[in-house]
């Protein structure tokens, strides 16, 4: 088992990373909680809810099962969980456990952050993608005008990452998770990036997965610890996300997984970077790697102005100008603002080139 301590301004919390941690879950949980509420989704519940409920028998334990997918991060679902938590009798000394991927973590975390002004929560990520949201204390729900627009910074008490739960992931979820790992490598570690380019992500063993996850989380933790509230360098973690968020929304959540949208967003950011800094190598090798791993890069025709407007309600907008994270080279991110007109041109030429690249 690997372990790392994530420090925030006022507190710190451990991440436990290894195999078969779920079986000894009770070891990681303070026995003094008055009750425990496990929040999970239907998919994860099928595989792991019984294990978790059994491991927590000693507590007064309740559970809520939500529908899988981004649409569950709604204000209605958020309120409904509050209602259920109150009717279960949760109090300020109760614990919420988020058992699942990023959606469950974001939603359950935001409920924990706001239930009676904040109670403890523990994350048990069951996807590769969730390694990303396990570090950094971002919790949120969606607004119909944009993703993650209602939320806060609220760190878990602990993250218990059992890679045995990753065995049940399908290819889509594996590539979705690896898009974020690739992003972490791109913004800070060329050797790790090159290592990933040589990996077949559908055929990794538990040990390799632990290493990749550990490496990715280390990169993220190091950035977040320097800038918890996203005043400066934390913005680099949004590399690829300005387009990705808009794309997910425009196509409707569920069409592309978050990571699949990020993959296209990474290519877009690298495409602009190539244009601004004059080196297209990274764009090309990554495009090639995405194609080899069957990332869906062919997307339906979209209205460029709608997409632009969605990019502009993003949280990273500064004075109504879109601020992009670009890459001077691997490991060297930089922020740059663009006018609407420049953005429209880039979006148009990027998608046209991407479609050509895929036809080949």
Q: Where does this chain bind its own copies (CB under 8 A)?
A: 9-10, 34, 75, 79, 82-83, 86-87, 89, 91-93, 113-118, 138, 140, 143-146, 148-153, 229-230, 313, 315-320
Rg (CA), the chain: 20
Q: Is 234 annotated as a binding residue?
A: no
Q: Is 276 annotated as a binding residue?
A: no
The three-state secondary structure class of 39 is strand
- In the complex, minimum distance from the CB of residue 49 to its own copies, in angstroms, rounded to a whole number: 25
Q: Is 258 annotated as a binding residue?
A: yes
Q: Which residues are registered as beta bridge partners of 15?
A: 4, 159
Integer angstrom CA distances of residue 97 from 5, 81, 170, 201, 253: 19, 13, 24, 29, 25
Q: Is 180 annotated as a binding residue?
A: yes
> Residue 290: which of 278, 298, 302 has the closest Cα?
298
Axis crossing angle, helix 340-359 with helix 258-277, rounded to the nearest 10: 110
- In the complex, minimum distance from the CB of residue 111 to its own copies, in angstroms, rounded to a whole number: 9
Q: Which is nearer to its own copies, 80 or 190 (CB)?
A: 80
Q: Which is nearer to its own copies, 36 or 201 (CB)?
A: 36
- In the complex, minimum distance from the CB of residue 234 to its own copies, in angstroms, rounded to a whole number: 11
Q: Is 167 annotated as a binding residue?
A: yes
Q: Which is nearer to its own copies, 116 or 297 (CB)?
A: 116
Instruction: Report the sign of the C-alpha dihedral through residues 232, 304, 150, 256, in that order.
Output: negative
Q: Which is nearer to its own copies, 198 or 318 (CB)?
A: 318
Q: Is 102 annotated as a binding residue?
A: yes
108-121 residues labelled b (16+ CB within 10 A) or e (exposed): bbbbbbbbeeebbb
- In the complex, minimum distance from the CB of residue 2 to its own copies, in angstroms, rounded to a whole number: 29
- In the complex, minimum distance from the CB of residue 250 to its own copies, in angstroms, rounded to a whole number: 16
Q: Which is nearer to its own copies, 230 or 276 (CB)?
A: 230
Q: φ and ψ at 105, to 5 degrees?
A: -60, -45
Q: Is 83 annotated as a binding residue?
A: no
Token code pair at residue 336: 């740059």
Binding-site annotation, residues for Zn(2+):
180, 241, 258
Could you list the residues known to form a binding site for NAD(+), using ranges: 102-106, 126-127, 138, 147, 165-168
């Amino acid at each position: 088992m690997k372990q790392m301590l994530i420090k925030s301004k006022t507190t710190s919390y451990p991440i436990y990373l290894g195999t078969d941690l779920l079986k000894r879950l009770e070891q990681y949980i303070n026995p003094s909680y008055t009750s425990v509420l496990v929040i999970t989704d239907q998919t994860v519940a099928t595989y792991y809810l019984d294990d978790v409920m059994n491991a927590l028998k000693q507590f007064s334990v309740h559970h809520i099962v939500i529908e899988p997918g981004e649409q569950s991060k709604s204000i209605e679902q958020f309120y409904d969980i509050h209602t259920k938590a109150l009717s279960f009798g949760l109090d300020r000394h109760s614990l919420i456990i988020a058992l699942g991927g990023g959606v469950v973590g974001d939603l359950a975390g935001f409920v924990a952050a706001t239930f009676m002004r904040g109670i403890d929560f523990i994350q048990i990520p069951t996807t590769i993608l969730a390694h990303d949201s396990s570090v950094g204390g971002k919790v949120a729900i969606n607004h119909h005008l944009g993703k993650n627009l209602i939320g806060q910074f609220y760190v878990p008490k602990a993250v218990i990452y059992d890679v045995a739960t990753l065995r049940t992931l399908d290819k889509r979820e594996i590539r979705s998770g690896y898009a974020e790992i690739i992003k972490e490598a791109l913004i800070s570690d060329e050797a790790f990036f090159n290592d990933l380019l040589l990996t077949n992500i559908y055929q990794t063993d538990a040990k390799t997965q632990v290493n990749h996850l550990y490496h990715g989380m280390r990169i993220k933790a190091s950035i977040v610890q320097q800038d918890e509230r996203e005043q400066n360098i934390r913005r680099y973690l949004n590399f690829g996300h300005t387009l990705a968020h808009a794309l997910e929304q425009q196509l409707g959540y569920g069409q592309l997984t978050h990571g699949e949208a990020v993959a296209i967003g990474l290519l877009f950011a690298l495409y602009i970077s190539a244009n601004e800094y004059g080196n297209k190598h990274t764009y090309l090798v990554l495009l090639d790697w995405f194609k080899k791993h069957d990332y869906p890069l062919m997307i339906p025709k979209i209205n460029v102005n709608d997409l632009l407007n969605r990019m502009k309600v993003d949280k990273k907008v500064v004075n109504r100008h879109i601020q992009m994270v670009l890459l001077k080279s691997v490991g060297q991110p930089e922020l740059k603002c663009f006018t609407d007109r420049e953005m429209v041109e880039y979006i148009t030429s990027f998608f046209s080139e991407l479609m050509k690249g895929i036809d080949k």
